[in-house]
Structure 1
Amino acid sequence: MTTPESARTGGCPVHTGDGSAVSLSGPRFHTEPHQLYREMRREHGPVVPVELPGNIPAWLIVGYHEMHQVTSDPELFPRDVGLWNQWPNIPADWPLLPMIQPPQPSIYFTAGADHRRHADMVVPALESVDPFELRHVCEELSDRLIDAFCGRGEADLVTEFAKPLPVLALARVLGYSDEDGTTLARALGELVDGGEGAQRAHAEYLALNQKLVKAKRNEPADDVTSWMLAQEGFTEEEVALNVKDVLGAGFVTTADWIGNSIRLMLTDDRFAAALGGGRHSIGQAMNEVLWEDTPTQILAGRGAARDTLLAGRQIRAGDLLMLGLAAANADPLIQQQFSPSRGGNSAHFSFSHGEYRCPLPAQEIAEIVARTAIEVLLDRLPDVDLAVPAQTLVRRPSTFLRGMTAIPVRFTPIRPTGDPQ
């Protein structure tokens, strides 16, 4: 049996007897992930032994039915990384610590009753967002961003549009001032890029978050943060952490949903009609992206509460299971039944599934932001086209998140919205 190019041989206590484990890193995860997942599925089955950075063992679920089984059983597979049996081997500077964190009091880093307690605050707060007002905000922000480059006849739709728009929209929803929202967009952009300024940007992000919560405690308004603060039994720290989670989880994924959808529409002839203002094709492209090019490729994770079997694999108590959302979406056993070409079928795992899935109102907010952004862009720049060959477009070098580093385009220059004709 051959192993994928990204695999390396090595034993570990978790994977004893499995022969080899796939390294959960390497360029193939962002250059040819579907081929890599096919190889994993063929050679290892629906539950794959993997190694995280530092030779840390885990499991990656690539089967659709196994994904459904794990995400539907929060008792056996809770989202409680505190159970992880590898914590004694994790150094303080481990690169995945931002994604696989010890439990903290917020909706995304708690399990069981603690998770439900935070969800009972966060979900109604997100439900309080008026979808019509949000769409109006997104139209206004989209116009503002497009005005900054529309007269040039060229732009990078990632850095100048897809990346800042979700931050600005979510900042408005959470109650940030427009000035702080602009600062937040810059800081989060630097943080995601992971360059020399990432640590400073992270500190700036946390400071803005704390400033927001204190300001809304003193002067509540009609926003999500004020709604959370009005609920009894939650500290300012808990509210701040939940605000941070809402923004952190929604920013990159929505930006990549916008970017990946724009890339699809500019490179696939099936969606050419949308470039002339056809709205139906926009929804189709966005749904296809969730199936075939989902922003969150791999999600961490689930801990096994006790010894169990999963697809014939011996899973030990405390083992970490990584959710291969993109791989499960591409499972050939399910693709024939839920083909993305059959309209708006939403049986994908792009928002995960079960008790710990992305909350439904958060999904709705992300869809409004992404769809409105693309509609405004194509309405205002109907002849937008790639400025480089499609095959030269580059993906972000990430195993876990899938997005474009840049989408250079050209178009007929137009006047900003506020300019006289």
Structure 2
Amino acid sequence: MPPGYPEHTNATRLYGPQITGDTNELYTRIRQEHGPVAPVLLDGDIPAWFVLGYREIQHVTSNSQLFARDCRRWNLWDHIPSDWPLLPYVGWTPSVMFAEGEEHRRRAGALGDALDALDRAELVTICNEIAEELVETFAEDGTAELISQYAHQIPAYVVARIFGLPKSDIPQLVRDVLDSLDTAEGAAAAHQRVHDRLHQLVADRQQRRRRDVPSRLLDHPAGLTFDEIVIDLLVVMAAAQAPTGNWIGNTLRLMFTDDTFSTTVQGGRSSATEALNEVLWKQTPTQNFIGRWATQRCELAGRRIQAGDLLVLGFAAANTDPQVQPGQPTGSGENRAQMSFGGGEHGCPFPAPELARIIATSAIEVLLDHLPDVELSVAEDELEWRPSVWMRGLFELPVQFTPAPPTT
């Protein structure tokens, strides 16, 4: 244990076999034992503070002067090995993710403007086209695995389209995006290929503008540099991929296993919104997020936080905080006050949550329209969650349905 963390002697480990089960039970136990801010140990027993109270997360995310994003403030870098498993989450890059103050507002504002310029009706058309093309690849089979064949494919295809990549380049880029986010050998090489392709894309747009996100960034009055645009496009692509893919997958699981939603969603398209919202409250894709770093000594929910301490934001735990939803027996309806997209200056920037919702809604509606009798092909208890406290998603979602007639 590094010095200066006396409260972490018997802290809960946020890694290991205990995270393979029901994470909601884990969060409940931590809350009962420690309150809304808990001492925890990350991989290798690295101490951190786990913020799992709804109001406490709101306080942290809305106070960027006290809880900042630049990871170089961390007071434990001397104790972090070069092969630490969580380095991809905390390793500094010159991207919008770790920028602060005016620099962050400049870059996040440019990204927000470039994304907000997307025509929403055109985006729906793009999403529907991609979803229909993917459904057609397995519609005649009568069976499918909806995580790898569908849910995780759609966000990457959509982002590639709005970035203006030619259709011929998209399948390989999608494979590289998915591989780059995996832990298997070859992830680094796949990430480099994605970087190189986006580098070439921005270089092409310097010569010839089009109606796409890179062109809007090049023309934005914020004056982003070439390298800033490339790395921030990478951030957008990565941030859209796993959360949106798991959002789609988790919502489909809810539809197939919960009578309330399986009946209403398949009986009316408008109910897809309710199911998507329910998942954000109960099985949000981004469970926890690293994080914020204290800029000075302070107190949070009675805990003494030192300058440079790491805070892990417990979005899933905050969404089930009994202070917010005391014994709520029914669905969350249209209540969108969940913390799944973060909050404050460094939350998921406008209009990204809206665009993600359009992508997820289109994916679900198209699937139900084309395969109205789709259902699980295994028992519910055979579905396996990935053992992670960071992202909530399934390994597989096998389904069966009436095969579509062969196309002529």
CA shift, 1:103, in A, is 4.7
Aligned to 1:212: 201
1:366 aligns with 2:356: yes
Structure 2: any 5+ residue segments left out of the alignment? Answer: none
Per-residue CA distance 1:287-321 (angstroms, 9 max, x = gap):
01000100000111111010001111110000010
Give the direction of change, closer, same or farther, for the CA distance of 1:103–1:83 in structure 2 (3 Å limit).
farther
1:273 to 263, 269, 283: 263
**Secondary structure class of the residue paired with 1:59:** strand
Aligned to 2:214: 225
Q: CA RMSD in A?
A: 1.6
2:85 to 81, 91, 95: 95
Per-residue CA distance 1:308-365 (angstroms, 9 max, x = gap):
0111111000001010000111111111398772411011100001111101211111
Write the mapping of 1:390-409 to structure 2, written as runs, cut at 5 A.
Answer: 390-409=380-399
After the TM superposition, which parts of structure 1 deviate over 4 Å for at least 4 consecutive aligned residues? 337-340
1:314 to 304, 311, 323: 304
2:172 to 183, 190, 194: 183
1:354 aligns with 2:309: no
Letter in 1 for 2:349: P
**Secondary structure class of the residue paired with 1:398:** coil
Write the mapping of 1:43-54 to structure 2, written as runs, cut at 5 A.
Answer: 43-54=33-44
Letter in 1 for 2:387: P
Aligned to 1:31: 21
**Secondary structure class of the residue paired with 2:88:** coil
Aligned to 1:56: 46
Give the direction of change, closer, same or farther, for the CA distance of 1:277–1:36 in structure 2 (3 Å limit).
same
1:168 aligns with 2:133: no
Q: Is the 8 A contact 1:277 1:375 kept in 2?
A: no
Letter in 2 for 1:412: T
Give the direction of change, closer, same or farther, for the CA distance of 1:57–1:342 in structure 2 (3 Å limit).
closer
1:300 to 290, 315, 322: 290
Aligned to 1:5: none
CA shift, 1:14, in A, is 4.1
1:126 aligns with 2:115: yes
Q: Is the 8 A contact 1:147 1:415 kept in 2?
A: no
CA shift, 1:275, in A, is 5.4
Letter in 1 for 2:263: A
1:410 to 394, 400, 408: 400
Aligned to 1:137: 126
Aligned to 2:55: 65
Per-residue CA distance 1:266-293 (angstroms, 9 max, x = gap):
0000012245351132111100100010
CA shift, 1:215, in A, is 1.5
Give the direction of change, closer, same or farther, for the CA distance of 1:147–1:212 in structure 2 (3 Å limit).
same
Q: Is the 8 A contact 1:82 1:103 kept in 2?
A: no
Structure 1: any 5+ residue segments left out of the alignment? Answer: 1-10
Q: Is the 8 A contact 1:48 1:60 kept in 2?
A: yes
Q: Is the 8 A contact 1:102 1:109 kept in 2?
A: yes
Per-residue CA distance 1:28-61 (angstroms, 9 max, x = gap):
3342111000110111111111112222211110
Q: Distance in 1 between matches of 2:181 and 2:35?
A: 33
Identity of aligned residues (%): 43
**Residues 301-310 or 228-237, more deviating:** 228-237
**Residues 28-37 or 304-313, more deviating:** 28-37
Q: Distance in 1 between matches of 2:350 and 2:20?
A: 28
1:197 to 186, 191, 202: 186
**Residues 132-141 or 280-289, more deviating:** 280-289
Aligned to 1:240: 230
1:114 to 83, 103, 110: 103
